Amino acid sequence: MKKILTTLMLAVLVLTLAACGSQDSATGTKEDKEEKIDPIEVKSALMDFQSEMVDVLQDSHKPFTEFEAIKAKMNDPETTAENMPTKEDAEALMEEAKSAGPKAAEDIRSMEIPVELAQYEEDLKAALEDAAASYEKRVEELTLEKKETESEADQLFANFEEKLGKIFEASDLLPPNIQKELE
């Protein structure tokens, strides 16, 4: 009889402990889960996000780079007549850049922020908005004439890189140079 009573009491104790244990884990908050994200996972997610951003931007940025190169050649007094691009070629590249700008802005705005980066979501969205706005502004500023000063589009892109850099630095990573990766 003592054995049965002891076994019964032990079973009740185990069930009580099991019930209390599951009750504590069921009441965990969203903040508890966010705090438990491993810093290495955050770094990895940031690096993956940077790679995704570069992939998204490369195709859309290429027409701007090509247009700026031909424009620089046209405005360079040392360019010989035989190496001088035609105005029609420059205008065709300018039209390609004009159509690439809105697509770049749309692609940037549609990027999803990984769950591991939830703590930086607002900052990342602000940075991405600056990047998208820079492409929209870049389209507005397209011209065959030589620019003497930094454009508003360049400043918006620099703001994007600065905001992104702060996020990387907060995770003990070097800030990326997206502009360099696009060239």
What is the 3-state secondary structure of the chain? CHHHHHHHHHHHHHHHHHHHHHHHHHCCCHHHHHHCCCHHHHHHHHHHHHHHHHHHHHHHHHHHHHHHHHHHHHHCCCCCCCCCCCHHHHHHHHHHHHHHHHHHHHHHHCCCCCHHHHHHHHHHHHHHHHHHHHHHHHHHCCCCCCCCCCCHHHHHHHHHHHHHHHHHHHCCCCCCCHHHHHC
- What CA–CA distance (Å, rounded) separates 101 from 140? 9
Residue 118 lies in a domain: yes
pLDDT band at 5 (very low <50, low <70, confident <90, very high): very low
Output the pLDDT for position 60: 82
Output the pLDDT for position 34: 47
Percent of the chain with pLDDT over 70: 80
The arithmetic mean of pLDDT across residues 66-73, rounded, is: 90
The model's pTM: 0.73
Residue 56 lies in a domain: yes
Residue 173 lies in a domain: yes
What's the structural domain count of the chain?
1
Domain that holds residue 161: 38-182
The arithmetic mean of pLDDT across residues 45-63, rounded, is: 91
Backbone phi and psi for residue 82, each to the nearest 5 degrees, phi listed first: -75, -25
> Taking 80 as the threshold, does the pLDDT of residue 127 lie above it?
yes
The residue with greater pLDDT, 36 or 25, is 36
Residue 128 lies in a domain: yes
As a whole number, the mean pLDDT across the chain is 84
pLDDT band at 145 (very low <50, low <70, confident <90, very high): confident
Residue 27 lies in a domain: no
Output the pLDDT for position 131: 95
Residue 33 lies in a domain: no
